[in-house]
Amino acid sequence: MNIIELENVWKIYSMGEVEVHALKGLSLKVKPGEFLAIMGPSGSGKSTAMNMIGCLDIPTKGRMLHEGQDIAALNEKELVKIRGKKIGFVFQSHNLYPTLNAIENVQLPMRIHEFGEAEIWDKSEELLGLVGLSGRARHYPSQMSGGQSQRVAIARALSTNPLLLLADEPTGNLDTEAGKEVLDIFSQLNSRGVTVVMITHDEKTAARANRIVRMIDGTIAS
């Protein structure tokens, strides 16, 4: 079964009197174990596509299936559950909770989903080690570089054992070196079987993925 399946998805926002067609009949499948990059210039609808994949938004028309389940049929509570447990998000910036230190940030999703205290600590330490930041556990986001913050965000996204890691321009705010480190972690995770969907407008970044989907004008460029 595909993890994600978009079937002829339309998303129309009405901004006052103007209607914005963000997605125009997008169809896309994400298979387990894939490392997929969605590319496109700004305004191509890639962020809207990410919101759909992340169950943060529901289509105006068409179907969006998460593990075969139509998300339009789910209520807010069920959506919250999917978002929290099945999908790990990494955003472009302001990813971390500023009032919590690195390890507390990694623990946050597990605390939201009420994991046991022992598991919370074991897992968070393990994940910080995985992204190479064991030594920064007590640092606050303001005390870390952009690359470090992004790696903490990845560790956090992985904490609930999601099926899918969803990254929106994860290297957008990083210099080349830090960006490379982040992408290395993605490759490493993917080789361990984690499905990664990454949104980017940068060719070099996209090249790290196994498959690239190019979007233009709300649909896949042919």
Partner 1 sequence: MKLLDIFLLSLSHVKKSRMRSWLTIVGVIIGVASVVAIISIGQGMQENVQQRLGGFGADIITVIPGYFRATGVHSEMHTDRSVSTSSSINLSDRDYRVIKQVPGVLYVNGLVSGKADLKYDNEKTVVSVTGVDTSVWRLMDTTGLDEGRYLQAGDSNSIVVGYNLAHGTFLQPITLNRPITIGGKNFRVVGILKQSGGFGGGSDTGIYMPSEIARDVITEKVSNNQFTSIVIKASDATLVEYLKADIEQKLMSSRQVNPRTKDFTVIASALIREQMSSVTQTLSFFLSAIAAVSLLVGAIGIANTMFMSVMERTKQIGLLKAMGAGEHEIMKLFLIESGIFGLVGGIIGVIFGATISLLIPYLGIQALGFGGDMRATITTGTIFFALGFSVVIGILSGIIPARHAARMRPVDALRYDQ
**Distance in angstroms (rounded) separating the CA atoms of residues 61 and 131:** 39
Q: How far is the CB of 104 from partner 1 (least distance, A)?
A: 8
3-state secondary structure of 139: coil
Q: Which is nearer to partner 1, 111 or 211 (CB)?
A: 111
Q: How far is the CB of 83 from partner 1 (least distance, A)?
A: 5
Question: Quick one: DSSP state of residue 142?
Answer: G
* C-alpha distances in Å from residue 13, one per residue of 16, 20, 91, 156: 9, 5, 22, 31
Q: Which is nearer to partner 1, 2 or 93 (CB)?
A: 93
Q: How far is the CB of 204 from partner 1 (least distance, A)?
A: 25
Q: Which is nearer to partner 1, 120 or 208 (CB)?
A: 120
- Chain residues in the site for partner 1 (CB under 8 A): 51, 54, 56-57, 76-77, 80-81, 83-85, 89, 91, 94-95, 97-100, 104, 108-109, 111-114, 156, 160
Q: How far is the CB of 177 from partner 1 (least distance, A)?
A: 26
Whether the CA torsion 178, 184, 190, 196 is positive or negative: it is positive
Query: What residue type is 62 in one-letter code?
Result: G
